Amino acid sequence: METKRQIKLDYTREFTIACKINNLKPIELLQYFINHVSFYAFIGGEIDVTYLWATTVCIDFKEEYGGEVLRVTVPEIQEISLKYIKKLTALNLNGPPFSDTAAFQSILIMDEWSSEMLPYTDYEAEVMVINRELLNLTFDFNLICRMNGSEIQDLLQYFIDKISLARERAMNFHHFVKTDPSTAFLLLLVGHDESVKSRILPQQEMYKKYGLRLLELDNEQNEEDDFENRRRNYDTFYQEWYSALSRIDN
């Protein structure tokens, strides 16, 4: 039986809270992130915004931490890659903006690219996190990691570390200022992905209770000018919500 490579990830407190409140398992959120990393978005293609935010995480990680990009010297890989990059570029330039058809065609092109190139690569299909849960690695995700010189474990940890409901709410409770791509991806996933959005939330009365309290807290923060104080207030609130859900589970 083949042994999968293991990676160690630290599930931060804020990441764990965000998953719990949004009724997602940590491994599930990580898999959604991997699945939405898109090479078509990476080269500027118009695609669903969840793909854009997931791919932006990869770009931001590269800009912040760099990475040693190994030059591709295998002629077959060079030839295949050039062919499909040209196809994707033409699709982006010639297709109507925000076209579902163009996005679907980009996925078909990536499938063709994957089938043709994988025999020449050492891309990993799966990795195992330390608790023995498996993550499936897409061709797009592998490709962007390789192009950016990004280690898979480091990129996934970066995604985890950047998620903060408290920071997001403190920054944008009044009007949109800016957002972190990891948290933006989580919120868009929960709000737009049908497989997540249509779930029946457990303890619905508790969600109603804390949803109303969150709106009340927003009103209270109108008089709080200091960002760090606002962030701490929201952090305390989300921690309380998380603790209430955890007590019920236990």
pLDDT tens digits along 73-119: 889 999 999 999 999 999 888 766 666 777 888 999 999 999 999 99
pLDDT at res. 174: 64
Rg of the chain over Cα atoms, rounded to whole angstroms, equals 20
Arithmetic mean of pLDDT, 12-17 = 97
Q: Which structure tokens are listed for 243?
A: 């603790």
pTM of structure: 0.91
Residues contacting 27, CB < 8 A, separation 6+? 129, 133, 135
Whether 69 has a pLDDT exceeding 90, the answer reads: no
Instruction: Verify that 217 and 134 share a domain, yes or no.
Output: no
Instruction: Verify that 151 and 169 share a domain, yes or no.
Output: no
Domain total for the chain?
A: 2
Instruction: Verify that 58 and 137 share a domain, yes or no.
Output: yes
Instruction: Verify that 30 and 139 share a domain, yes or no.
Output: yes
Instruction: Verify that 19 and 143 share a domain, yes or no.
Output: yes
Quick count: other Cβ atoms within 10 Å of Cβ 211? 10
pLDDT band at residue 177, thresholds of 50, 70 and 90?
low
Instruction: Verify that 66 and 119 share a domain, yes or no.
Output: yes
Whether 164 has a pLDDT exceeding 50, the answer reads: yes
Is residue 233 a part of any domain in this protein?
A: yes
Arithmetic mean of pLDDT, 173-181 = 73
Instruction: Verify that 135 and 152 share a domain, yes or no.
Output: yes
| Least confident window among 1-5, 44-48, 191-195 | 1-5
Is residue 105 a part of any domain in this protein?
A: yes
Instruction: Verify that 116 and 214 share a domain, yes or no.
Output: no
Instruction: Verify that 153 and 237 share a domain, yes or no.
Output: no
Whether 1 has a pLDDT exceeding 60, the answer reads: no
Is residue 34 a part of any domain in this protein?
A: yes
Instruction: Verify that 115 and 220 share a domain, yes or no.
Output: no
Whether 17 has a pLDDT exceeding 90, the answer reads: yes
Q: How many CA atoms lie within 13 A of 73 on its CB side?
A: 2
Instruction: Verify that 101 and 14 share a domain, yes or no.
Output: yes
Average model confidence (pLDDT) across the chain: 89
Is residue 183 a part of any domain in this protein?
A: no
Arithmetic mean of pLDDT, 3-30 = 93
> Residue 189 class from Cβ within 10 Å (0-12 exposed, 13-18 middle, 19+ buried)?
buried
Please give the residue range of the domain that contains residue 222.
165-173+192-249
pLDDT at res. 205: 82
**Rounded Cα gap, residues 21 and 246, in angstroms:** 10
Is residue 240 a part of any domain in this protein?
A: yes
Please give the share of the chain, as a percent, with pLDDT higher than 90: 65
pLDDT at res. 4: 76
